[in-house]
């Protein structure tokens, strides 16, 4: 499967300022597959060390963390000469050996000529104070499940994707293409972007098999709750994790601790939310009262929404039936549009929006997302149906006078002065290049 991060890896390889690369992301989003493909295509030699599968590798990082000595020992262990010009070294599941993480600092300082990639699924939750994190000594890449553009490429719809990318929003796209893209989107919302799920469906076209894999992934995540936390914390993590789909299914999707366990408070679950965030399993969107820069200065951290890392897993937890795919609009509006708002959140994150925000007024007005692009702030309303109601976003416009306001919905492309209506499948264009003059 083609992954957009492949381009980032090529840039990293060619960079004169290259540092050891740390690839982060939740389990089973495709990190190992991507690096294996990159290594086999771009390097003559490849050294792969999986610290979870081979516990003996910990010996390499005992004592002095001398990169040249570590490389020599790896070379002897695998019986291969490591040529720094033509070899990629991959430390997989690096969180298993904290001192391996510490060694990245010395690879940067003492042996920068080596091409070294490390990956960790639970890096943020498994490394404690006993390890020294190499701040400023590594390059970072964050990997997510396949986003919608990657999904289209996986299904050999490159021509359709290219047409979508070059389309101007001032006119609707051909209706036949619009309906085809909506059909793909409904299938994507159900399947999600986990690589194993998509590979299985591409090969067998079996919805039941895809759902079985989704449930297996969910079970694997819950096993991690116990593996990487103490028993009491694991129970809390499972409780909160299972509550997320039903919190999103409410009309008001603001997270409520009382919906996890009756009369519970923030102090009970704050650590749990941080664990899930660090594991890459949830994304947090915070409420802001005033859309001014920097947005963090106007954030109310007591009010937030939690989104899941994948719409397919969200559907599996809600036990959504596959029959919903063939209904023209039901999946879009099901559970008060839970899938749609979660989908847009994931498209924004995959596009490089590090922190999500939404806006609420003192009255009932709420804008689903507030997006900072360069030095401008734009409101983004998400509509799961064909409603023309723009009360909240117009309230925002009247108060703050943004240069553009955006809505994503099942409708076709439409633009009128400052108002831009994007089809749901084109949400990624907002942060791709939509604000270039020739597009609006």
Would 234 be classed as within a structural domain?
Answer: yes
What is the pTM for the complete model shown?
Answer: 0.93
Whether residues 137 and 178 share a domain: the answer is: no
Whether residues 247 and 309 share a domain: the answer is: yes
Whether residues 195 and 249 share a domain: the answer is: yes
Q: Which of 88, 107, 142 is the last residue of a domain?
A: 142
Would 301 be classed as within a structural domain?
Answer: yes
CA 56, 62, 65, 69 torsion-angle sign: negative
* Per-residue pLDDT, 131: 55
Whether residues 206 and 297 share a domain: the answer is: yes
Would 437 be classed as within a structural domain?
Answer: no
DSSP letters, 378-408, are EEEEE-SS-----HHHHHHHHHH--S-EEEE
DSSP letters, 189-221, are HHH-S-HHHHHHHHHH--HHHHHHHHHHHHHHH
Minimal CA–CA distance to 122: which of 225, 262, 12? 225
Q: Which of 99, 127, 142 is the last residue of a domain?
A: 142
**423: containing domain:** 148-432
* Per-residue pLDDT, 437: 44
Whether residues 209 and 70 share a domain: the answer is: no
Would 108 be classed as within a structural domain?
Answer: yes
Q: Give CA–CA dist 47/133, Å, rounded.
A: 23
Whether residues 117 and 137 share a domain: the answer is: yes
Give me the tens of pLDDT residue by residue for the chain, a chain 440 residues long.
899 999 999 999 999 999 999 999 999 999 999 999 999 999 999 999 999 999 999 999 998 999 999 999 999 999 999 999 999 999 999 999 999 999 999 999 999 999 999 998 877 665 544 456 787 899 999 999 999 999 999 999 999 999 999 998 889 999 999 999 999 999 999 999 999 999 999 999 999 999 999 999 999 999 999 887 788 889 999 999 999 999 999 989 999 999 999 989 999 999 999 999 999 999 999 999 899 999 999 999 999 999 999 999 999 999 998 888 777 677 787 888 888 999 999 999 999 999 999 999 877 789 999 998 888 999 999 988 766 678 899 999 999 999 999 999 999 999 998 999 999 999 999 876 555 544 56
Q: Which of 142, 166, 190 is the last residue of a domain?
A: 142
Would 439 be classed as within a structural domain?
Answer: no
Which CATH number characterizes residue 97's domain? 3.40.50.300
Whether residues 272 and 375 share a domain: the answer is: yes
Is residue 108 within 8 Å of 137, Cβ to Cβ? yes
Whether residues 359 and 333 share a domain: the answer is: yes
Would 193 be classed as within a structural domain?
Answer: yes
Would 227 be classed as within a structural domain?
Answer: yes
Whether residues 279 and 422 share a domain: the answer is: yes
Whether residues 110 and 210 share a domain: the answer is: no
Q: C-alpha distances in angstroms, 438 versus 167, 170, 220, 281, 335?
A: 10, 10, 46, 37, 37
Neighbours of 297 (CB within 10 A): 9
Whether residues 268 and 321 share a domain: the answer is: yes
Would 438 be classed as within a structural domain?
Answer: no
H/E segment holding residue 159:
helix 158-166
* Per-residue pLDDT, 129: 42
* Per-residue pLDDT, 232: 86
When divided into structural domains, the chain yields a total of: 2
Whether residues 127 and 162 share a domain: the answer is: no
């Amino acid at each position: 499967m083609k992954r957009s991060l492949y381009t980032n890896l090529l840039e990293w390889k060619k960079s004169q300022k290259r540092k050891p690369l740390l690839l982060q992301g939740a389990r089973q989003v495709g990190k190992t597959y991507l690096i294996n493909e990159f290594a086999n295509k771009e390097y003559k030699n490849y050294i792969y060390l999986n610290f979870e599968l081979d516990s003996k590798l910990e010996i390499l990082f005992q004592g002095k963390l001398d990169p040249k000595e570590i490389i020599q020992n790896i070379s002897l262990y695998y019986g291969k000469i490591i040529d720094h010009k033509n070899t990629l070294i991959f430390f997989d599941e690096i969180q298993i050996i904290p001192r391996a993480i510490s060694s990245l600092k010395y690879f940067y300082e003492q042996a920068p000529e080596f091409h070294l990639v490390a990956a960790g699924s639970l890096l943020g939750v498994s490394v404690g104070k006993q390890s020294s994190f190499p701040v400023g000594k590594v390059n970072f890449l964050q990997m997510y499940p396949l986003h919608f553009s990657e999904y289209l490429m996986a299904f050999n719809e490159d021509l359709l994707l290219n047409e979508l990318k070059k389309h101007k929003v001032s006119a609707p796209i051909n209706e036949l293409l619009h309906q085809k893209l909506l059909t793909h989107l409904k299938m994507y919302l159900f399947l999600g972007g986990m690589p194993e799920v998509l590979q299985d469906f591409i090969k067998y076209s079996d919805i039941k098999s895809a759902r079985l894999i989704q449930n297996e992934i969910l079970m694997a995540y819950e096993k991690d709750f116990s593996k990487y936390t103490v028993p009491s914390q694991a129970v809390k993590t499972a409780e909160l994790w299972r509550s997320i789909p039903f919190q999103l299914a409410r009309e008001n999707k603001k997270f409520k601790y009382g919906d996890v366990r009756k009369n519970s408070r923030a102090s009970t679950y704050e650590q749990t939310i941080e664990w899930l965030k660090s594991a890459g399993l949830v994304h947090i969107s915070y409420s802001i009262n005033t859309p001014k820069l920097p947005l963090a200065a106007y954030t109310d951290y007591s009010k937030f929404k939690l989104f899941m890392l994948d719409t397919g897993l969200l559907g599996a937890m809600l036990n959504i039936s596959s029959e919903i795919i063939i209904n023209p609009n039901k999946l879009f509006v099901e559970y008060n549009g839970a899938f749609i708002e979660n989908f847009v959140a994931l498209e924004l994150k995959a596009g490089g929006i590090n922190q999500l925000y939404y806006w609420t007024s003192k009255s009932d007005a709420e804008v689903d997302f507030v997006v900072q692009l360069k030095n401008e702030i734009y409101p983004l309303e998400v509509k799961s149906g064909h409603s023309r109601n723009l009360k909240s976003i117009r309230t925002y416009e009247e108060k703050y006078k943004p240069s553009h306001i955006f809505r994503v919905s099942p409708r076709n492309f439409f633009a009128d002065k400052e108002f831009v209506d994007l089809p749901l499948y084109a949400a990624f264009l907002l942060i791709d290049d939509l604000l270039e003059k020739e597009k609006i």
